């Protein structure tokens, strides 16, 4: 299965002249017999409901909500049903209006875009189908405009999902590193440099996935580890501060009290006297 860079795909459609060739709605009920090959135009398949599998040149794609599938022109086509499950999809065929650009375009490829559930995308594609089937020149103009809105929404959905997945993976890597090396002299600049991201990006990722910036996350983790040591050992407070990576014992006491409402010494005494 071809993996598509959504930014390259967006740039492709930004620079090539294209127009809608047809908008068609297919469903199991009433069943429409499928052909043995795709039409002479490439197209996007938008499945609002159900589940059915098609193969483009032998590569299987499942048509189901949350994804958009692109098929190239004149590809061999095979269909597989899943029991008696009802299914429906909208097919939008388009034409590249420049023969030279068409030769090197995405129109000859089959690929899948994972959009996730998007009520707006479904609404736009259903509007496109209804507008296409209206008579008159205005409907043709609106069809062209709406198809671009549909493509835009699909690409934005894909990019948003990819960014979310990438940011979560980055958060997992950096937070795991903090858990491992919190006792060392970590700085946000050093973390950003190690993971080859700028500080603003790192801050955005932590605020999105942890609800706080990386500096606050690191400090809270250190204080949490200090809590455990105060409760389970009789190591002096100053030594505990150094053990969790905070060299200044006065700063340690200040941030500990700010986070928990009592000083490290008071915290220890409280649990020694009331261990339960």
CATH code for the domain of 48:
2.60.120.280
134 and 199 together in one domain = no
Residue 108: name the closest of 55, 75, 72, 74 by CA.
72
Q: What is the pLDDT of residue 63?
A: 92
Residue 43 structure tokens: 């197209």
Cβ 154 vs Cβ 115: under 8 Å: yes
The CATH number linked to 270 is 1.10.10.60
Q: Is residue 41 part of a domain?
A: yes
Please report the pLDDT score of residue 108 as a whole number.
86
How many other CB atoms are there within 10 angstroms of residue 38's CB atom?
A: 22
> Is 168 among the domain residues?
no
pLDDT of 232 reads 86
Strand order in 67-71's β-sheet?
A: 18-27, 87-96, 43-50, 67-71, 111-114
Note whether 20 and 92 are within 8 A (CB): yes
What whole-number distance in Å separates Cα of residue 3 and Cα of residue 273?
Answer: 61
- 154 & 198 share domain: no
Residues 127 and 256 in one domain: no
Q: Are residues 90 and 129 in the same domain?
A: yes
pLDDT given at position 62: 92
Does 132 lie in the same domain as 251? no
Query: How far from 27 is each of 48, 52, 261, CA to CA, in Å?
Result: 10, 10, 63
Task: Assess whether 152 and 187 both reside in one domain.
Answer: no
Which of 115, 129, 18, 33 minimizes the C-alpha distance to 77? 33
Residues 48 and 157 in one domain: yes
- Residues 191 and 62 placed together within one structural domain of the fold: no
Give the H or E element holding residue 25: strand 18-27
CA distance 40 to 96: 12
CB 55 within 8 A of CB 21: no
Same domain, 155 and 195: no
Distance of alpha carbon 129 from alpha carbon 84, whole angstroms: 26
Distance, in Å, from the CA atom of 122 to the CA atom of 149, rounded to the nearest integer, reads 12
* Residue linked to tokens 């938008």: 46
What pLDDT does 276 receive?
47
Is 253 within the bounds of a domain? yes
Closest CA to 153 of 17, 49, 6: 6
Residues 255 and 219 sit within 8 Å (Cβ to Cβ): yes
**Can you say whether residue 257 is alpha, beta or left, with left for phi > 0 and alpha for psi between -120 and 50 degrees?**
alpha
Question: Number of structural domains, the chain?
Answer: 2
CA 247, CA 242: separation in Å to the nearest integer?
5
The pLDDT score that the predictor gives to residue 79 is 85
Both 28 and 105 in one domain: the answer is yes
What sign has the CA pseudo-torsion 201, 203, 205, 208?
negative
Indicate whether 10 and 97 sit together in one domain.
yes
The pLDDT value given to residue 102: 61
pLDDT tens over the chain, length 276 residues: 667 888 899 998 998 899 999 999 988 754 555 678 888 899 999 999 888 899 999 999 999 999 999 999 889 988 887 777 778 899 999 999 877 666 666 888 999 999 998 889 999 999 999 999 999 889 999 999 999 999 999 999 998 888 888 889 999 999 999 999 999 999 999 999 999 899 998 999 999 889 999 999 999 999 999 999 998 888 999 999 999 999 999 999 999 999 999 999 998 888 765 554
Same domain for 145 and 212, yes or no, is no
Query: Domain residues for 67?
Result: 6-161
- In this prediction the pTM is 0.67
């Amino acid at each position: 299965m071809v993996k598509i860079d959504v930014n390259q795909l967006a740039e492709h459609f930004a620079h090539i002249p294209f127009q809608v060739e047809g908008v068609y709605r297919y469903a199991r009920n009433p069943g429409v017999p499928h052909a043995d090959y795709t039409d002479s135009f490439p197209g996007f398949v938008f499945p609002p409901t159900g589940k059915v599998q098609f193969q483009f040149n032998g590569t299987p794609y499942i048509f189901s909500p949350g994804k958009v599938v692109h098929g190239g022109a004149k590809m061999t086509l095979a269909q597989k049903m899943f029991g008696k499950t009802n299914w429906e999809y909208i097919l939008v065929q388009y034409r590249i209006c420049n023969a030279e650009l068409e030769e090197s375009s995405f129109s000859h490829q089959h690929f899948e875009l994972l959009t996730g559930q998007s009520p707006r995308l479904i609404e736009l594609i259903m509007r496109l189908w209804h507008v296409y089937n209206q008579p008159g020149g205005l409907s043709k103009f609106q069809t062209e405009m709406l198809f671009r809105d549909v493509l835009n929404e699909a690409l934005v959905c894909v990019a948003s999902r990819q960014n979310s997945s990438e940011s979560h993976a980055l958060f997992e890597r950096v937070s795991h590193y903090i858990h491992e090396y919190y006792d060392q002299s970590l700085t946000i600049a050093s973390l950003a440099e190690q993971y080859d991201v700028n500080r603003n990006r790192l801050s955005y990722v932590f605020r999105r996935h942890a609800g706080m910036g990386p500096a606050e996350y690191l400090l809270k983790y250190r204080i949490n580890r200090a809590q455990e040591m105060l409760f389970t050992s009789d190591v002096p407070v100053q030594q505990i501060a150094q053990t969790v990576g905070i060299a200044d014992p006065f700063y340690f006491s200040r941030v500990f009290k700010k986070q928990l409402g009592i000083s490290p010494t008071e915290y220890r005494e409280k649990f020694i006297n009331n261990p339960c």
